[in-house]
Structure 1
Amino acid sequence: MPLAVLHTSDAFVLRTYDYGEGHKIVVLFTRLDGLIRAVAHGARSSKNKYGAALELLSEVAITYREREGRDLAQLVTCDVKRTRFSAAADPATLAMLAYWAELVSELFPPHQANDPVYRLLSVGCEAIERRLSTGLDEARQAQPALAAYVETWLLRLAGFLPSWRQCARCGAFFDAEQPARLASDGTPACRSCVSAGRDIGPLTRRAYAAIQRFGPDEFLGQAVPTHVVADVAEVNSRLMQAVVERPLKSYAVWQRLRAETLE
């Protein structure tokens, strides 16, 4: 009989999907053990004891059981600490949160604690909820900048964000007023070392610096121009695809729903 070990932790719900006739598999990012997958027995039955606890990016306190040699844990208890009901009321906002959840699932390996990622999810969700509390229009306007903020930090915490201070080839520091280049291998380069590549302009590099200097609310308060936020998002998308090696479905859904809200 494999040894069973009981764990307790706070966690964010990243995804659920059906398992068997009455159960669900829950993908969670736990504070103490990073990414795990656990079976929630009876989560699809009429006597479902979990309620809103398994909704997207709900923050929960869980107890789960792991057995040696098995990939799936067993969810024993799951108590709600904070739900995302306000975000769920707006399809575009909910789709953005699903995109964040997929990024975490793709960028970080199982069973590796990463408290900065946990705190990033917390402050990101809280930032969008504050804007929803003041009005849906404000929340929708903040989405691109907030998503760029979360993307950038996830790339950095996963070790895939280049430094825009100096060339990875020759070590020369970039001129503050001249473009740098993103080489095909995802590294930063000066124009002397790389003759072709994606230019990263001074305003975009300053936006990256601001993201890493400020909290989400302070960054949103910088009122970074829309075209600069879009440029950061486009560079992030290139970096993400180089890592994940496929387009993320959740990103396409979010972009479609955002476009619909602007029509």
Structure 2
Amino acid sequence: MLYRVEGIVIRSMDYGEGNKIITLCTENAGKIGVLVRGAKKVKSRHAALTQLFTLGEYVFFRNGTGLGTLNAGEITMSHYRLRGDLYMAAYASYACELLDRILLDEETGSFWFQQLKACLGELEEGKDPGIILNVYEMKMLQTAGYAPKLDVCISCGEPRSEEELLISPRLGGVLCKYCRHLDPQALTITPRALKLLRLFERLDLRKLGNIDVKEETKLELKKVMRSFIDMQLGVNLKSRNFLDQMDKYEI
């Protein structure tokens, strides 16, 4: 059967001497693997369609639920600026790998696609990559069914002041100081950072404006969101390890 989909390349790997296999995140057909014959050849007309972060229309033949074979395609947005900047490419790779690891094959959902599309667009526009990824991570947690509970204590259910709350990635939300014994490893959080996390819950990357955040608050948000990803999703991402190395050596 012949398929025509709008998709974003979230993974690209060599296959054989001259071919590539790409993984597409699509709006209406889920996550799909497509074989692109001859993509590694110098004069290949499909080579550009296999580049990471590329948004385009892909036409491929697939028999059943296996690997598709590309027939034709047209690029909508190449995101070449992201690939051309090591720093931005690292952030974009993390966004793609995170989605790839939590989105099941054939699992449909326009929201996954739209948030990744918006994330890559915001990165290319030059907005703060750390904040963009924090919002994106929150959207991924929400869509995967692991949204943190940030309004009241996850244990006693009582509304507390922001000064009385801690963050418990293990339990999946805020924990008041009276219930801290349930998670001695709960993280302290400033009222400013907690307010931003609650804002991230409501934000949509497709409508994201400029958010000015102090450097110390960015570090706090990064630590909290990373802990939620680790505890709730349990994924080890190569792209995140690379981001850590970049931060370490200040590339």
TM-score range relative to shorter protein: 0.7 to 0.9
- CA contact under 8 A between 1:183 and 1:194: conserved in structure 2? no
CA drift at 1:121 = 1.7
Corresponding pairs, count:
248
Cα pair distance change 1:112/1:191, threshold 3 Å: same
Identify which of 52, 57, 61 aligns with 1:65. Answer: 61
CA drift at 1:93 = 0.4
Which residue of structure 1 lines up, in the alignment, with residue 178 of structure 2?
192
Which residue of structure 2 lines up, in the alignment, with residue 32 of structure 1?
28
Which residue of structure 2 lines up, in the alignment, with residue 248 of structure 1?
237
Q: Secondary structure at the match of 1:209?
A: helix
Identify which of 7, 12, 19 aligns with 2:3. Answer: 7
Structure 2 length-normalised TM: 0.88
Matches within 5 A, 1:166-177: 166-177=152-163
CA drift at 1:36 = 1.4
Query: Is structure 2 residue 182 aligned with structure 1 residue 182?
Result: no
Structure 1 length-normalised TM: 0.84
**Quick one: distance in 1 between partners of 2:43 and 2:94?**
30
- CA contact under 8 A between 1:22 and 1:41: conserved in structure 2? yes
CA drift at 1:77 = 1.9
Identify which of 219, 223, 231 aligns with 1:234. Answer: 223
Which residue of structure 1 lines up, in the alignment, with residue 197 of structure 2?
208
Q: Secondary structure at the match of 1:192?
A: helix
Cα pair distance change 1:174/1:71, threshold 3 Å: farther
Q: What percent identity do the matched residue pairs reach?
A: 19
**Quick one: distance in 2 between partners of 1:78 and 1:194?**
55
**Quick one: distance in 2 between partners of 1:243 and 1:76?**
39
CA drift at 1:215 = 4.8
**Quick one: distance in 2 between partners of 1:240 and 1:65?**
36
> After the TM superposition, which segments of 4 or more aligned residues of structure 1 sit over 6 Å from their partners?
none
Gaps of 5+ in 1: 132-138
Cα pair distance change 1:259/1:175, threshold 3 Å: same
AA aligned to 2:22 is V
- CA contact under 8 A between 1:59 and 1:81: conserved in structure 2? yes
CA drift at 1:28 = 0.8
